[in-house]
Amino acid sequence: MVEMKVGEFFFLLSHNNFYCELLVRNAGQPLNRAKSADQRKNHQRHEQRGHIDRNSLEEYGLYFKNSRLVSIKDDAPFEFDVYSSKEDNHRRYNAIGRLITDYIYGLLEKECGLIRIPIPIDAKRSEPTGFFFASDNLDKAEYLMIIIHGTGAVRAGQWSRKLIMNESLQAGSQIEYIERAIACGYAVIVTNTNLHTDESSESVLNATKRIR
């Protein structure tokens, strides 16, 4: 921990937790590092329980409001550090990310009107499968827009999972681009190149095999 004084303002720079905390101290008084009762209570509860995977964003106390991921309780922005354990924080983050992936899949189908197309089309039960999304005017439109995301954890409909969780759907998803393309009469294909097996499949074989 590094302490730096600027006038009566003290900056505490923590290299382990990657945050900066600004505290004010009157002359001759100690730094006030006390947490609120609610913060201590939440910290103790999370520290004792550890992370447990939930089945929905709502079970994590989160939802999308005006395209931003916020707390159901008070509309506070998404918070990464809720456990004392870095591993638990990362597990929670990844679990919420997977739920957001399913949420965006739903937006692609319901809001954008895209069709989920499995590949290969005639896959056997033991084969690994995947899918992508496409508009229903592929054989009619004069122009076609193919949207390809980057590498990593992102899936169809996402540019950046981090931006979706910390900023908004507009900042991190492909929804706005898809809607504009459709409004202009384009056919649209949304690829899912990071998905090497159908993660929603109930097949144990499909869940464990990967396309090499």
Residue 21 lies in a domain: no
| Closest to 4 (Cα-Cα) out of 18, 28, 25 | 25
pLDDT of residue 126: 83
Query: Is pLDDT larger for residue 88 or for residue 197?
Result: 88
pLDDT for 208 beyond 80: no
Q: For residue 128, what are the domain limits?
A: 35-208
Residue 24 lies in a domain: no
Residue 201 lies in a domain: yes
Span 145-201, pLDDT tens digits: 999 999 999 999 999 999 999 999 999 999 999 999 999 999 999 999 998 765 554
Residue 93 lies in a domain: yes
What is the share, in percent, of the chain residues with pLDDT greater than 90? 62
Domains in the chain, number: 1
Residue 23 lies in a domain: no
Token code pair at residue 89: 């924080």
What is the share, in percent, of the chain residues with pLDDT greater than 70? 69
Residue 4 lies in a domain: no
Residue 197 lies in a domain: yes
What CA–CA distances, in Å, run from 104 to 96, 110, 112, 156, 175? 12, 10, 10, 8, 9
Residue 8 lies in a domain: no
pLDDT band at 122 (very low <50, low <70, confident <90, very high): confident
Q: Is the pTM higher than 0.85?
A: no
CB 109 within 8 A of CB 73: no
Burial class (CB in 10 A: 0-12, 13-18, 19+), 158: buried
Q: In angstroms, rounded to a whole number, what is the distance separating the alpha carbons of residues 154 and 173?
A: 10
pLDDT for 205 beyond 50: no
Mean pLDDT rounded to a whole number for the chain: 79
